[in-house]
Amino acid sequence: MLLNFSGSDWCYYCKLLDREVLDTSAFKRFAAERLILVELDFPRSHPQPGWLREQNRRLARQYGLKGFPTLIVLSPDGTRLGQLGYRPGGPEPFLQRLKAILNR
């Protein structure tokens, strides 16, 4: 499972990560085969239902969120395997880091 903590409507690096990695066909192919994707969004200009806002805050506290974007990789049993963030370079370096986490 890949938890994507994002500020989709205000976070510059979240938008870059989406455009340069998460929205690419290479990432989408990999994710379709190996991941369950969960977006935990913290928008500023788009209202969310109270239950969703509180759920996202609770999970941010649970996983020690320090900034955006943060992607947390979990095993099928919920064990935290690793964490990723934005780095320039597109999908290939990101997928290499993600595969290294998944193959530990």
In a domain, 49, yes or no: yes
Q: What is the pLDDT of residues 55-75, one digit of tens each?
A: 999 999 999 999 999 999 999
In a domain, 67, yes or no: yes
CATH of the domain at 67: 3.40.30.10
What is this structure's pTM?
0.94
Q: What is the pLDDT of residues 5-55, one digit of tens each?
A: 999 999 999 999 999 999 999 999 999 999 999 999 999 999 999 999 999
In a domain, 79, yes or no: yes
In a domain, 96, yes or no: yes
- Residue span of the structural domain in which 38 resides: 2-7+22-102
Instruction: Give every strand in the sheet of 37-41, ordered side by side.
Output: 37-41, 2-6, 70-74, 80-84
Placement of tokens 């989709």 in the chain: 8
Structural domains of the chain, count: 1
Closest CA to 71 of 97, 33, 52: 97
In a domain, 88, yes or no: yes
Residue 103 sits at the vertex; the CA angle it makes with 99 and 104, to the nearest 5 degrees, is 125
In a domain, 77, yes or no: yes
